[in-house]
Chain A
Amino acid sequence: MKILVAIKQVPERDAQINIADSGRWIDESDVNYTINEPDAYALEEALQLKEKNGGEVVVICAGPERVTSTLREALAKGADRAIHIESDDIGERDTLGVAEMLAEVAKAEAPDLILTGLQSDDLGLGQTGVVLAELLGIPHATIIMQVEVTDSGLKVKRELEDGWFQHVEMPLPALLTIQSGGNKLRYATLMGIKKAKTKETRTVQAGAAASPAITLERVYLPKKQKKTEMLTGTPAEVAAKLVEKLKFEVRVI
């Protein structure tokens, strides 16, 4: 089974956020990047499916030169090869524009299964996978916790709200968006890091961006919904202040 895993590189979760002068994105100069966490779960699922059923895992990532570090990490974890869609203007493309870039490569690769995270930690639109499936004309299922290969295709466990789940059966080729927590993430081993150096990373130039359907006009810090009283001091002082509140305001002591 040939599995394509679409991954995204995003700012680290505890990155300090400064708004860029353009007012339309964050200042990228002080940001460290990492793999989008739901995509790490998609990669893990792909690697486990390969271990069970054999085949090949190909990772694909669109973005500027810096995203190759995330691709290398995926290779170190066990992906067989990587494809970098080089695009310096990825921020100017909307979901459809990004999915079109991915679709072009996916068509040529013709995988049996495409996996990606259910959403990105930065934009959080949660759509690239579904749009990619639609562009390729293949069935999809979202927010998937478990994947089982069957005689007729796949049986997946889909997460619903409030602790409900549902099994869905579907033919291949197909696309799944993976939820976190279905598997335990692996770390790259030293051997894996060594081996990654011998694996192929192919670079593909992105085509020109089409005009987007939606645009991000500006970003800004959210307004507080509540007036928060900040308590300061040494840990012991803060603890004493909190106990006061718990006793006299919240009345739980």
Chain B
Amino acid sequence: MSGVLVLMEQRGGVWNRMSFEALAAGQQLAAKLGMECSAAVIGEGIDALCAELAGKKLAKVFAVQHALLKDYTSDGYVAAAELLIRQTDPAYVVLPHTYQVRDFAPALATRFKQVLISDVIAIHDGPVFVRQLLQGKLNADYKQADAGPCFVSVQAGTFRAEAVEAGAASVENFTPQLEAGQIRNKPGELFREAAHTVDLGAASVIVSVGRGIGEQENIGIVEELASALGAELAASRPICDNGWLPMERQVGSSGQTVSPKLYLAVGISGAIQHLVGMKGSKTVIAINKDENAPIFEVADYGVVGDLFEVVPALTKAVLAAKG
């Protein structure tokens, strides 16, 4: 057992860009361990993608192709990846922590009596894999305990896709033995709900509200601050889950990704699913009662206090400053 294998993600011949972050992670892990790094693409009609990978610093590129892998299914992907891993026998399998990986990688690891070390934010010597616990309030070091391939998925934005090293690799076809009967789920076409009428991505100032607001009727004070600042109103997932604001105002991994000049977070603790949607903001101001809230880790200015006092005072001061 040796080497690092990166499982890249594509859909319909188009990369999920997080794959290249995983590839950078795989190359760096391999270099650290003095091992070779290879990559695999699963699907059908992926020759162009494999040709692109042939220009990277990799030992091998595996083109895992089969008609039954055209559309993603967990059954198809687990079966194909299992066969590839049994044949190539890597010590580490690195994946991007996407929704798709969350759907099949835990089952894949189970086939090898392993546990996926998921959503990793750093890899240290050892190797030690760092994950976040308790919605980002704590970090934890994880290690693999026994032999067998070690499965790791890396969090979005942890490794830089630009860091992928160029080189030359040969492409090897791998045709897994699959039968239609193995695939139990029937996937449908992808769709979006009613078109987004709110484009938070274009807003230069965003005032965003989270769980700390407590009740729907309290959202008014945040709305007033947003209108005083001429800002778009946004929210973290729990607010939209409760139906207090429409889903189209949600910022985060399942909502919109924003990068305004100012992101003012009110009563948002800053779970990673939220942070990935707003950490590109130029300036972040956070108002929260909990001084340990992870939102302060990405904030330029922080206020620890009661938002029901601070927000109305701020609205008043902003209106006064504007005259």
Contact = CB atoms under 8 A, between A and B. Distances in A.
Contact of A139 (B75, B211, B320): B75
A79 interface: no
Interface stretch (B25-33, B38-46, B162-170, B297-305): B297-305
Contacts of A118: 102
A219 B138 contact: yes
Contacts of A160: 99, 190
B134 A26 contact: yes
A159 B99 contact: yes
Interface in A111-164: 118, 121-127, 130-131, 133-135, 139-143, 159-164
A213 B216 CA distance: 44
B138 A17 contact: yes
Interface string B179-206: 0000011111111110010000000110
Interface string B230-250: 000000011011110001000
A180 interface: yes
- Best-surrounded residue of A11, A130, A219 (most CB of chain B within 10 A): A130
Nearest to A224: B297
Contacts of B299: 226, 228
Contacts of B285: 242, 245, 250
A202 B22 CA distance: 45
By secondary structure, the A interface counts as mixed
B175 interface: no
Contacts of B243: 184
Nearest to A129: B106
Interface string B77-113: 0100000000000000000001100111011011101
B313 A131 contact: no
A230 B205 contact: no
Given A211-B146, A213-B144, A161 B99 contact: yes
Contact of A122 (B133, B191, B262, B316): B133
Counting chain A CB atoms within 10 Å of each CB, which of B98, B141, B229, B317 scores highest?
Answer: B317
Interface residues of A, number: 81
A164 B254 CA distance: 9
A226 to B, nearest CB: 6
Contacts of B241: 180-181
B137 interface: yes
B161 to A, nearest CB: 16
Interface string B245-284: 0010000011111000110000001000000000000111
A14 B211 CA distance: 11
Nearest to A217: B141
Nearest to B128: A217
A78 B109 CA distance: 35
A14 B184 CA distance: 41
B231 to A, nearest CB: 8
Interface string A5-20: 0000001011011010
Contacts of A247: 321
B302 A231 contact: yes
A163 B106 contact: no
A126 B191 CA distance: 24
A163 B255 contact: yes
Contacts of B115: 94-96, 125, 127, 131, 212-214
Contacts of A99: 110
A29 interface: no
A13 B317 CA distance: 32
B114 interface: yes
Given A95-B106, A124-B132, A124-B133, A245 B301 contact: yes
Interface string B147-182: 010000000000000000000000000000000000
A242 to B, nearest CB: 6
Given A26-B134, A220-B138, A213 B269 contact: no
A232 B146 CA distance: 50
Contacts of A225: 297-298
Given A161-B98, A163-B256, 8 more contacts: A165-B192, A214-B115, A217-B140, A217-B141, A218-B140, A219-B139, A231-B303, A238-B314
Interface of A: 11, 13-14, 16-17, 19, 26, 94-96, 99, 118, 121-127, 130-131, 133-135, 139-143, 159-171, 179-181, 184, 211-222, 224-226, 228-232, 235-236, 238-240, 242-243, 245-247, 249-253
27 contacts: A13-B269, A17-B292, A96-B114, A123-B133, A124-B119, A125-B131, A134-B78, A141-B185, A143-B99, A164-B192, A169-B186, A170-B184, A181-B241, A213-B114, A213-B144, A222-B132, A226-B300, A228-B297, A230-B304, A232-B303, A235-B312, A238-B303, A239-B310, A242-B285, A243-B314, A245-B285, A247-B321
Interface of B: 74-75, 78, 98-99, 102-104, 106-107, 109-111, 113-119, 128, 131-146, 148, 184-193, 196, 204-205, 211, 229, 237-238, 240-243, 247, 253-257, 261-262, 269, 282-286, 290, 292, 294, 296-306, 309-310, 312-314, 316-318, 320-322
